[in-house]
């Protein structure tokens, strides 16, 4: 018998998780699954991270301990609304060998078709990371082309020094920018 955990979430305190719980428990009964534990985040947005969702955090800690074989939830948006957080959760489950059942989407990663879909999600996650990297690099290039100074200054208080105001660089950078002829020659002894 497969050991499962239910994860339930609603976004506002005016909602409740009763419908999700009832439907998922019925699926578990029909499938012959044993519900080991129910994790719930009531009145918490799916856009919040793991650190602000105690039910999700407890569930993922139990995933680490392999307390169950499958996580069942009503819909993918119950796990998260941020694609980055969602992909992180999915990867965590996959790494620990815990399957996922999404009732509304009909996705069960313990089946061959579900595993294929899960792998496609991984491809899209990698694609998204690549797109983000390209956008960041394009933005940095545009900023440099527009003369924007990137990075931090070297003052701990975050203020600009007089040299940086005057020359656009720190004293250390100006020293390094001087021609080599201005530096004394270095004698090297023959061995």
pLDDT at 186: 46
Share of the chain above pLDDT 70, in %: 77
pLDDT at 73: 95
Share of the chain above pLDDT 90, in %: 37
Closest CA to 41 of 94, 99, 80: 80
Q: How far is CA 103 from CA 58, 61, 70, in A?
A: 21, 23, 13
Question: Annotated catalytic sites, by residue?
Answer: 11
184 pLDDT exceeds 50? no
Is 97 part of a structural domain of the chain? Answer: yes
Is 119 part of a structural domain of the chain? Answer: yes
Return the SS3 of 182: helix
CATH number, position 53: 3.40.50.1390
Q: Which helix (H) or strand (E) holds 9?
A: strand 3-10
Which pLDDT band, with edges at 50, 70 and 90, does 153 fall under? low
Is 181 part of a structural domain of the chain? Answer: no
Is 147 part of a structural domain of the chain? Answer: no
Which pLDDT band, with edges at 50, 70 and 90, does 13 fall under? confident
Give the lowest-confidence range in 5-9, 41-45, 72-76, 184-188.
Answer: 184-188
Domain of residue 18, residue span: 3-127
Terminal C-alpha separation, the chain = 77
pLDDT at 169: 57
**Strand ranges (DSSP E) for 11-152?**
34-42, 70-73, 99-102, 107-108
Structural domain tally of the chain? 1
124-140 burial: b if 16+ Cβ within 10 Å, else e:
ebeeeeeeeeeeeeeee
Is 190 part of a structural domain of the chain? Answer: no
166 pLDDT exceeds 80? no
Is 167 part of a structural domain of the chain? Answer: no
Is 98 part of a structural domain of the chain? Answer: yes
Is 10 part of a structural domain of the chain? Answer: yes
5 pLDDT exceeds 50? yes
Q: Which helix (H) or strand (E) holds 7?
A: strand 3-10
94-130 per-position pLDDT tens digit? 899 999 999 988 889 888 988 887 777 667 767 777 8
pLDDT at 156: 64
Cβ neighbours of residue 49 closer than 8 Å, sequence gap 6 or more: 82, 85
82 pLDDT exceeds 50? yes
pLDDT at 67: 96
């Amino acid at each position: 018998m497969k050991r499962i955990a239910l994860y339930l979430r609603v976004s506002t305190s005016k909602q409740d998780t009763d419908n999700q719980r009832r439907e998922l428990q019925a699926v578990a009964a029909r499938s012959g699954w044993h519900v080991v534990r129910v994790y719930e985040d009531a009145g918490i947005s799916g856009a919040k991270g793991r650190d602000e969702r105690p039910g999700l955090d407890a569930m993922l800690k139990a995933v680490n301990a392999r307390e169950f074989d499958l996580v069942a939830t009503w819909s993918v948006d119950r796990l998260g609304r941020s694609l980055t957080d969602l992909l992180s959760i999915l990867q965590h489950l996959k790494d620990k060998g815990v399957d996922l059942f999404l009732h509304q989407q009909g996705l069960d990663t313990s089946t061959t078709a579900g595993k294929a879909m899960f792998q496609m999600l991984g491809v899209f996650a990698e694609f998204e990371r690549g797109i983000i990297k390209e956008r960041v690099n394009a933005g940095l290039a545009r900023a440099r082309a527009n003369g924007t100074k990137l990075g931090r200054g070297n003052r701990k208080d975050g203020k600009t020094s007089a040299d940086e105001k005057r020359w656009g660089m720190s004293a250390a950078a100006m020293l390094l920018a001087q021609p080599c002829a201005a530096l004394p020659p270095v004698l090297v002894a023959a061995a």
